[in-house]
Amino acid sequence: MQERRWINRYQPQTLVTGTMLLYIEGVFNMIRNNQLLLLVGLLMFPAGYLIANDKKIGWKLGVIASIAAIIIRIVGYGNFLFSLIFPVVLAALLLHPTSREYQKIWFK
């Protein structure tokens, strides 16, 4: 029987932290008053779940969602420095060499 999980603590620390940050950032994006961030926030939940369950499509979706959040904030906000902290950290965690190598080897 295959186990489904929300967080996979057996993955590298960068992926575990990135998964948790996908869920947190997804909630914050959904409560902001921006339709595009709402869509990105809704994409972050399945991305985190799929990463926790070792699916390559989840990692790709997480990278796309984090980069989209960065672009939306740069284009949409005047004072965007503080609002870029979480999306930039999220993209850095998912694109970290340890995360990339792990997903290349172990994800399906």
Model pLDDT for residues 48-107, shown as the tens digit of each residue: 999 999 999 999 999 999 999 999 888 877 666 777 888 999 999 999 999 999 999 989
pLDDT digit string, tens, across residues 74-86: 887 766 677 788 8
- Is 61 contained in some domain? yes
Q: Determine the average pLDDT of the residues in 5-20.
A: 93
Query: Is 6 within a domain?
Result: no
Structurally, the chain folds into a number of domains equal to 1
Residue 99 lies in a domain: yes
pLDDT the model gives residue 80 = 67
Give the predicted TM-score (pTM) of the model: 0.88
Asked, for residue 45, whether it belongs to a domain, the answer is yes
Helix 56-76 vs helix 85-95: crossing angle, to nearest 10: 150
Q: Is residue 5 domain-resident?
A: no
Taking the C-alpha atoms of residue 64 and residue 71, their distance in angstroms, rounded to an integer, is 11
Range(s) of the domain holding residue 102? 13-106
Give the pLDDT score at 34: 85
In a domain, 3, yes or no: no
